[in-house]
Amino acid sequence: MGISKHPSIVTMPQVAKPYPSILVFLSRRFPAISQEMWETRMLEGKVQDEHAQKITLDTLYTPLRRIFYFREVSSEPLIPFAEKILFSDDELLVACKPHFLPVTPGGRYVDECLLNRLRRSTGIEDLAPLHRIDRETAGVVLFSVNKKTRGFYGTLFMNGLVEKTYQALSLCHPLQKTASWDIENRIERGEPWFRMKTVPGTVNARSTITLAEVNEGRGRFMLQPRTGKTHQLRIHMGELGFGILHDRYYPELQAESEDNFSTPLQLLAQRVRFYDSLTGKSREFVSERTLSW
């Protein structure tokens, strides 16, 4: 049995009344865990509010409030690839994540995530990720080391002041010419819950995608997300007709299967760049990883 030493967080969304019980909400949000198991966890004090107070079966559902819970898994897959620390100082730690490793605990993963690996290797318990990339994606991830400056760096990401560049590979007609596209649309959660979709409405997802070169039926793309919606780049590539190689979610959801470590998603968070007004310097961090080009 694997039990996380650190809580995971879920926010109770705004829903129509009558509100569900917290027990029902958790059971629906995490269908792989039975309602009986959630009830046991609540009775054991493993579900808490933001003040570390025990959430009971009688605690009322409150939209936009956060629930803290401690993940448990009976067995946990091991990811046979190592992360690498690219940079560390008193404010930031920058790591390059391998494919298949989640940034934070999720699903079947508790200890096998970048955050907990780094906590163990550095001894820094207060590490907190400033942004996320998908489990299937490799590349640069920034962590806050100092709680006092965490809000400053988090605001840079929230306000779109961090320039992020990705690389991706897709099947591509040999005669396809280099080109660039600006994509703007609205992305919301779809069905099943882990898969996103585009819908009509106010734009909340923006990307610039450039086809850099074509070689032997494959294209190498440079991607710059202007916003940070879940699976944004994977969806936008699919909408252009260039599904990312080995993508099991988009444009079509593939049957569930175990990870095939020989065919990682060909998406790499290559570079992060921003101006750091705390130090008065421009910061740039670049992955040493490459795709199978």
pLDDT of 89-131, one tens digit each? 999 999 999 999 999 988 888 889 999 999 999 999 999 999 9
**Whether residue 172 sits in one domain with residue 149:** no
| Segment 74-98, tens digit of pLDDT | 788 999 999 999 999 999 999 999 9
- For 47-56, how does the pLDDT look when each residue is reduced to its tens digit (9 = 90+)? 999 999 999 9
Q: C-alpha angle 195/199/201, rounded to 5°? A: 140
Residues 141 and 191 in one domain: no
The pTM of the full predicted model, rounded to 2 decimals, is 0.83
| Confidence (pLDDT) at 28 | 93
In terms of domains, do 152 and 179 share one? no
In this structure, the answer to whether residues 203 and 117 fall within a common structural domain is: no
Residue 78 in domain: no
- Is 250 in the same domain as 118? no
pLDDT-based confidence at 1, cuts 50/70/90? Answer: low
Is residue 292 a part of any domain in this protein?
Answer: no
Residues 6+ apart with CB under 8 A from 267: 134, 136, 137, 138, 166, 167, 168, 233, 234, 244, 247
Q: Establish if 172 belongs to a structural domain.
A: yes
For 33, the domain range is: 2-73
If asked whether residues 213 and 249 sit together in one domain, one would say: yes
Return the percentage of the chain with pLDDT > 70, whole number.
99
pLDDT of residue 6: 81
Do 46 and 129 fall within a single domain?
no
Write down which residue in 73, 98, 124 finishes a domain.
Answer: 73
Residues 180 and 211 sit within 8 Å (Cβ to Cβ): yes
User: What is the tally of structural domains in the chain?
Assistant: 3
* Average pLDDT score over the chain: 94
Query: Which CATH number fits the domain that encloses residue 69?
Result: 3.10.290.10
Helix 35-43 with 22-29: angle, nearest 10 deg: 130
Instruction: Return d(Cα 219, Cα 290) in angstroms, integer.
Output: 14
Cα angle at 118 between 280 and 258, to 5 degrees?
A: 125
The first and second tokens of residue 125, run together, are 């318990």
- The CATH number of whichever domain residue 90 belongs to comes to 3.30.2350.10
The tens digit of pLDDT for each residue in 11-24 reads 999 999 999 999 99
Residues 189 and 212 in one domain: yes
79: in domain: no
Query: Where among 73, 96, 116 does a domain terminate?
Result: 73
**Segment 260-289, tens digit of pLDDT:** 999 999 999 999 999 999 999 999 999 999
Amino acid identity at 60: L
Residue 2's pLDDT is what?
Answer: 65
Q: Return the percentage of the chain with pLDDT > 90, whole number.
A: 86
